[in-house]
Amino acid sequence: MDLTETDAELAFRADARTWLTANVPHGLPSGDTRTGFAEHLQWEKQLHAARWAVVSWPEEYGGRGASVWEWLAFEEEYYRAGGPQRVTQNGIFLLAPTLFAFGSKEQQDSLLPRMSAAEDLWCQGWSEPGSGSDLASLTSRADQADGGWVLNGQKTWTTRGSFCTHLFGLFRSDPASERHHGLTYFLVPLDAPGVTVRGFARLDGDEGFAEVFLDNVFVPDSAVLGGVGKGWSVAMATTGSERGLTLRSPGRYTATVARLLDLVGDETLDNGVRDRLAQAWMDSEAYRLFTLRQVSDEQAGRGRPGESSLNKLFWSELDIRLHELALDVLGSEAELEGPWSKGFQFSLSGPIYAGTNEVQRNIVSERLLGLPRR
Ligand SMILES: Cc1cc2nc3c(=O)[nH]c(=O)nc-3n(C[C@H](O)[C@H](O)[C@H](O)COP(=O)(O)OP(=O)(O)OC[C@H]3O[C@@H](n4cnc5c(N)ncnc54)[C@H](O)[C@@H]3O)c2cc1C
């Protein structure tokens, strides 16, 4: 694999770097608070106005038609410049790839431009009070009605649900079905009559989560994504994006290691910390090279189902190690230092969200290693 960037790719990277360096805001409050979310949204709209919000999408949907290599370069530049978390991520990184793969032209034309402009803000409605890892046990229902469907049930752990305008979620549309069969993927406006969204705080106090209650909510047939009864396979495409490269590209981790190196500066380190720092650099570089190989494989038709679970295991565990190291370097100052200690707390949730790491290990053992199912 030749990793040399072409002249066009170098020019794209340089444009991105120039614009981001001049425009990235620093020190925004957490996007998981109402005021912080509003400030992040201003930034997302600025990105969109300059056509940097969704670089890999076609131009008619707000993108630049960039290749996946250019998108990776953009991501590296975004995090290198200290770009803030993307509060539109559940739409642009999770739902959008699924819409490109399974959506009708009408759905793409109506939803994607509003998503890239940060006008429609999407949250993910998978988990329910009794269904987390075992998502196929979900009980939220969709009953067919004249011209559409009536939804009932409850979703929970809905990230930034209180601040979003729309939810994508799974519902049981065939009452006689079991497990992965008879599920349908719906696109639901949160201002529809019968929807109640109740925000709740995380342990750190930020109102990052919501419960979403659906009480006889009518949605038209056009709210079905990917076909009635096909919900499981459509949802698995979304989780592939969430676990893999789309949500957590390597630029995020190479930039964190660069910040770690800045943090250390000229300090004399004990050998243990120096070794961990070297390991951190190698790990982030290994993730970068792994994803480049993965993209090449996918483009050559050699993609492997379930491989995004490997990414998820690697990035979630790496993120914890990087933040632990930063806190050790900071020592007693760590408690006074906002971003690293906040980042450490969030890193601890990495092995849980996007499917727990225990579940990812099951997937790797069964689908990639071919070990017997439990
Ligand atoms: C920060 C964060 C954001 C989230 N955002 C969203 C969101 O936006 N939308 C959404 O729908 N959900 C969201 N979630 C919920 C998340 O998807 C679930 O927490 C996750 O799927 C685990 O489900 P659970 O919490 O019910 O735990 P459980 O499924 O009850 O698991 C409990 C423990 O048992 C283990 N376990 C379960 N089954 C197995 C198995 N078969 N083999 C081995 N071990 C097993 C798990 O690994 C875990 O350690 C979010 C979670 C977090 C932490």
Give the residues surrounding ligand 1 with Cβ less than 6 Å away.
Answer: 123-127, 132-133, 157-159, 349, 352-353, 355-356, 358-359, 362
Is 80 exceeded by the pLDDT of residue 144? yes
B/e letters for 322-361, b = 16+ CB within 10 Å, e = fewer, are bbebbbebeeeeeeeeeebbebbebbeebbebbbebebbe
**pLDDT for 308-347, tens place per residue?**
999 999 999 999 999 999 999 998 888 776 889 999 999 9
What is the distance in A from the centroid of ligand 1 to the CA of 255?
Answer: 28
CA atoms within 13 A on the CB side of 118: 22
Which residue type is seen at 333? Answer: E
What CATH architecture applies to the domain 244-368?
A: Up-down Bundle (1.20)
Q: What is the pTM of this model?
A: 0.97
Write down the CATH superfamily of domain 122-230. Answer: Butyryl-CoA Dehydrogenase, subunit A, domain 2 (2.40.110.10)
Strand partners, 170: 185
**For this structure, is 307 an active site residue?**
no
Which residue has a Cα nearest atom 30 of ligand 1? 132
In tens, the pLDDT along 205-257 reads 888 899 999 999 999 999 999 999 999 999 999 999 888 889 999 999 999 99
| Residue 204 confidence (pLDDT) | 82
Report the nearest atom of ligand 1 relative to the CA of 349.
53
Atom of ligand 1 nearest to the CA of 161: 8
The CATH T-level fold of domain 7-87 is: Butyryl-Coa Dehydrogenase, subunit A; domain 1 (1.10.540)
**From 353, 361, 373, mutation site for ligand 1 pocket: most ligand atoms within 8 A of C-beta:** 353
In the chain, the percentage of residues whose pLDDT exceeds 90 is 89
Question: Which position among 70, 75, 77, 242 bears the catalytic label?
Answer: 242
State the pLDDT at residue 203: 85
What are the residue ranges spanned by the domains of the chain? 7-87, 122-230, 244-368
Q: How far is the CA of 133 from the centre of ligand 1 (A)?
A: 5
pLDDT for 267 beyond 90: no
pLDDT at 3: 87
Q: For tokens 């971003």, what's the residue?
A: 339
Q: What is the pLDDT of residue 219?
A: 98
